[in-house]
Structure 1
């Protein structure tokens, strides 16, 4: 099922709601230091945001490069968290937080 989801409910120009797929039988992926296989198979847009929800960095990558992009973007001390989107359709995929 395709639904609209407010995945970035912030008071900045980057507040966003967009389409996400909800699939029967799927479970929330909630792991530390692990990337789900689904993210490795697609082109991704990774965006870094500061504590004021302003974008401070971004990368357009193939899924196999996700760990390197996370490391690079979080090396910026301004980056508080990341959002990952599937690049072509633009659907929100996940949030990455510092641990």
Structure 2
């Protein structure tokens, strides 16, 4: 089964990078500097920041469904990134992590979920999409629990 993984679009976040630390705090966001590799995953490009790179950590509503599963969580974004949007391609950022994958129906209700290493993501995507009522998937980093990306049928 073909699938499409997408990061977040960059445009809605562009103005944040010009804000002062005080203005960011008013939006429950903070500027951070990555101090290790692979610890600061950008949700736009689905790449990891390198040590010394600046990011913004903010709360983001990744599941806006009008259901009990409506949800927000902290995400990192990096300035100047392009949205990851590819068919049948898993980014390295996801490959190197333990992932929680959640399948939702068109009303935003959870239908199924499971955990897999990123190296075994494709079989899990295929299994979850075998349920025709699953409209889309959300991938979360299993250990920190943060939203990572969306998966749709291609």
Aligned counterpart, 2:4: none
* Distance in 2 of aligned mates of 1:23 and 1:43: 22
Residue 6 of structure 1: how far off its partner (Å): 0.7
Residue 98 of structure 1: how far off its partner (Å): 1.2
> Which deviations, in whole Å up to 9, do the C-alpha atoms of 1:32-91 show, x marking residues without a partner?
111111000000000000111111111111111111110010001111100000011111
* Distance in 1 of aligned mates of 2:143 and 2:118: 13
Aligned counterpart, 1:29: 84
SS of equivalent residue, structure 2 residue 86: coil
> Are positions 1:86 and 2:141 aligned together?
yes
Q: Normalising by the residue count of structure 1, what TM-score does the alignment of the two structures yield?
A: 0.95
Instruction: Provide runs of 4+ in structure 1 moved above 2 Å.
Output: 23-27
How many residue pairs get matched? Answer: 99
Q: Normalising by the residue count of structure 2, what TM-score does the alignment of the two structures yield?
A: 0.62
- What aligned pairs does 1:32-51 form with structure 2 within 5 A after superposition? 32-51=87-106
> Are positions 1:15 and 2:70 aligned together?
yes
Aligned counterpart, 2:128: 73
Larger radius of gyration: 2
* Distance in 2 of aligned mates of 1:90 and 1:42: 11
* Distance in 2 of aligned mates of 1:44 and 1:9: 21
* Distance in 2 of aligned mates of 1:23 and 1:65: 27
SS of equivalent residue, structure 2 residue 65: coil
